[in-house]
Chain A
Amino acid sequence: MYKKPYINQLIHCGCGIMNQRPDLEPFFNPSSIAIVGASPKEGSLGRAILDNLLLRYKGIIYPINPKYKNELGLTWYSSISELPESPELVIIAVRADFVPRILEEAGETGCKAAIIISGGFAESGERGQQLQEEAYRIAQKYGIRVVGPNCIGVYNALTGVDTFFLPQERMRRPPRGPIAIISQSGAFLASIMDWAALEGIGIAKAVNFGNKMDVDEVDMLEYFGWDDDIRVILMYIEGLKPGRGRDFIEIAKRVTARKPVILLKGGKTSRGASAAASHTAALAGDYNVLKGALKQARILEADEVLDLFDMGKALANLRYSRGRRVAIVTNAGGPGVIMVDNLIKYKLEVPELSKELQERLKSMFPPRVAVRNPVDLTGDANNEAYEKALTTIVESGEADIIVVIALMQPPVLTVELGDLIADIAWKHHGIPFIVVTMGSEIAKKLEERVEGRGIPVYNFPERAARAVYAVAHCSKCG
């Protein structure tokens, strides 16, 4: 009686997708770039794009603007058709109504990738919507992939491709690193990149696609999924394109099997569903459905902006843990307690250590040291005390993750503690280490020492707990 309707299709769904890397390479690694709307004028958008490319991009740059011939030591062209070759990537930063014609011209020369920085499209009313549709038709006709319109485009720390029209002094570029960012919002992306630069968080690639007329978060996720320079993908999205859910799930599942993806959703408040005909419809709401979808695709959800980076930093450096038993070694009671509260909140376990292990620890330390977990070495603990406690716990096999809380205000600890922690962590790299230190200069020094060795450090227990949660990545952690 039980029919199995096309069950084979369900099992083999997604064949044909992601068997090959999507052809977005020209956006991130083009041999030549034409900038339509380039300008030598200080303070203009066309100048900012040009300056940023001149700074680091090693390929050929073709500035296009009929008003200029020779400026800034470059040869300027009046149109794409005048160029000696078809540019591999064209950046378009001119008024919206010129854009269809420029795409047409780019298509004629055989160019296959365009970033439309310009606004004035679907985001700005009916006329803009028509222009966007026209631009899309032309792009389709010539097989041009388009990022944008109404976006800041792409950033690649490795090749120096940087279409963000924000000057260097306004938006500092972060150091190279293993993180990629996909953002629906350009302003958000620019500000968090600037902040990441301040924090020293390494970014490999970033993209903002604005109105996502063509390339969207699903394409980018797939592309970054293939990229071996990227260890973690951070996403900020407000909504998928209608009908793109299935592709999103299929691709995200494959990507998360290779590397962590962390997503922050903007616009979580659900639209009213009062007229719903069923309970299910009344309870659904876009965000609730998306939450389920993210779990299904093994994408970690960030609750807030800091979460994205707290979790991102942990997963860029550490592997997933084998389980969720956390052992805490601290030299201060309060932060240890706060740490436990926050770990429990995220459904992590902070089990009491075995009697045997407690006895062993007791024999090493004065009686005031608490050994149940957290192991509180108390304020006069020195580097050696940490070394003994950490080594003993790690070798016991009773912890899947280690949180080290080291407050540097008492005079006994020195910043060499950082190397000591890192040495133990690297020797036992199956067990992720997360370090918490709170305070000013001295804390910063320890942080630099530890992070320099690839162990993530957090300034508050709450933020470290979020990182532990990410590293413990399990579907039932809540």
Chain B
Amino acid sequence: MREMDSTEIIDKAISEGRSKLLEDEAYDLLSLYGVAVPDHCIARNIEELGSCANKVRYPHVLKVMSPDIVHKSDVGGVIVGVKNIDEDIDAYKRIVESVNKKAPGSRVTGVLVQHMVPQGLEVIVGGIRDRFFDTVVMFGLGGILVEVLRDVSFRVSPLTYNDAIEMLDDIQARKVLYGVRGMPPRDRNALAKIIYGVYQLMDKHRNIKEIDLNPVMSYERGACVADARVIIG
């Protein structure tokens, strides 16, 4: 199958009446703009897990794919730390079983098999559409405490790569990016590249309303999105 371009990915979701991209669509879209995303593969049934195992490095995360489910982990739709094909098969079955029990009637189109990216410093990269500034991007410390700590910085269009670099230094906790207490310094260019990619993606596609990449794992070399949410409409 030919890979879809960015417009096709978004148009397909809109034509199906969805306001949010499926996670694999979000990953494909982001990678078209140079954003590092985890290796991933869709298994529509248990048989397809085999080919996914060849494509995606272990450990795996398996996530249920359903247009009806918003919070996947609430319905037992996410299983992490899957180490081999036997565990893949087991995890698949457990996901389907749990979803059938906790969200009966939900359509399950398969599972997303995703490489479980190693733990890094968790940051958030986001984008919104603003009535004054149009495309606005955000960077900050990520993870589940993001809305408590609120340590984030914003920049607006037209954004340059250098603006993205400056955003990194515009948070209170900027020092953690340079390495503190034995923790390594983080790859700032890799983060700036993700911010810039989100900006370009939103600037090009007017029908993307919001993007949340949370967390993005930041490493000494490189960075990788671990969860993506793209709101369209």
Residues of chain B with a CB closer than 8 A to A296's CB: 155-156, 159, 163, 166
What's the minimum C-beta distance from B209 to chain A, rounded to whole angstroms? Answer: 8
- Asked, given contacts A292-B154, A475-B166, whether A284 binds B132 with beta carbons under 8 Å apart, the answer is no
Given that A280-B128, A289-B133 are known contacts, is A1 also in contact with B154, CB under 8 Å in the complex? no
A292 x B132 contact (CB < 8 A): no
The interface stretch among B38-46, B79-87, B145-153, B179-187 is B145-153
* With A279-B212, A282-B147, A293-B154 as contacts: A245 and B126 at CB distance below 8 Å: no
Q: Once bound together, how far apart are the Cα atoms of A280 and B133, in whole Å?
A: 15
B210 touches A293 (CB 8 A): no
The smallest C-beta distance from A45 to any residue of chain B, in angstroms, reads 33
Given contacts A282-B147, A283-B150, contact A292 B170 (CB under 8 A): yes
Q: Count contacts on A: residues with CB < 8 A to the other chain.
A: 39
Given A6-B204, A243-B134, A279-B212, also A249-B126 (CB < 8 A): no
Contacts of B132 in A (CB 8 A): 239-245, 286, 289-290
CB distance from A241 to the nearest CB of B (A): 8
> Given known contacts A289-B130, A293-B133, is B138 in contact with A280 (CB within 8 Å)?
yes
Chain A CB within 8 A of B34 CB: yes
Say yes or no for B66: interface residue by CB 8 A criterion. Answer: no
Across the interface, which residues of B come within 8 angstroms of A284, CB to CB?
Answer: 128, 130, 136, 138, 154
Verify if A246 is at the interface (C-beta below 8 Å from B): yes
**B229 interfacial contact with A, CB 8 Å:** yes
- How many residue pairs link A and B with beta carbons under 8 A? The number is 121
Kindly supply a per-residue 1/0 record for chain B positions 115-152, scoring 1 wherever the CB is within 8 Å of any chain A CB and 0 otherwise: 00000000010111011111010101000001100101
Chain B 1-39 interface 0/1 with A at a Cβ cutoff of 8 Å (1 = within): 000000000000000000000000000000111100000
B98 beta carbon closer than 8 Å to chain A:
no
Q: Which residues of A contact B218 (CB under 8 A)?
A: none
Q: Which of B32, B124, B152, B166 contacts A3 (CB 8 A)?
A: B32
Q: Does B109 contact A (CB under 8 A)?
A: no
Docked-complex contact A278 and B170, CB < 8 angstroms: no
Within 8 A of B (CB), among A273-314: 277-284, 286, 288-293, 295-296
Smallest Cβ-Cβ distance to B154: which chain A residue: A292
> Do A245 and B130 contact each other (CB < 8 Å), given the known contacts A13-B158, A279-B124, A283-B146?
yes
Contact present for B158 and A283 (CB under 8 Å): no
CB-CB nearest in chain A for B233: A277
B51 on interface, CB distance cutoff 8 Å = no
- Enumerate B62-83 residues with CB–CB distance to A below 8 Å: none
B200 touches A5 (CB 8 A): yes
B177 on the A face (CB < 8 A): no
Q: How far, in angstroms, from A280 to B213 measured CA to CA in the complex?
A: 9
Q: In the docked arrangement, what's the CA distance between A240 and B136, Å?
A: 15
Q: Across the two chains, which residue of chain A brings its CB closest to B200?
A: A5
Q: Is B114 an interface residue (CB 8 A)?
A: no
Distance to closest chain A CB from B136 (angstroms): 5
Whether, in the assembled complex, A14 has its beta carbon less than 8 Å from a beta carbon of chain B, the answer is yes
Q: For residues 1 through 17 of chain A, which have their beta carbon under 8 Å from a beta carbon of chain B? A: 1-7, 10, 13-14
How many Å from the CB of B224 to the closest CB on chain A?
15
Q: Does A476 contact B (CB under 8 A)?
A: yes
- Inter-subunit contact A279/B146 (CB<8 Å): yes
- 10 smallest CB-CB distances across A and B, nearest first, come from A280-B126, A292-B154, A245-B133, A2-B34, A278-B212, A245-B132, A278-B210, A242-B131, A293-B156, A13-B158
23 contacting pairs across A/B (C-beta < 8 A) = A6-B204, A10-B158, A10-B203, A240-B132, A243-B134, A246-B133, A246-B134, A249-B157, A249-B158, A250-B158, A278-B126, A279-B124, A279-B214, A280-B211, A283-B147, A283-B152, A284-B128, A284-B130, A289-B154, A290-B132, A293-B133, A475-B166, A476-B169
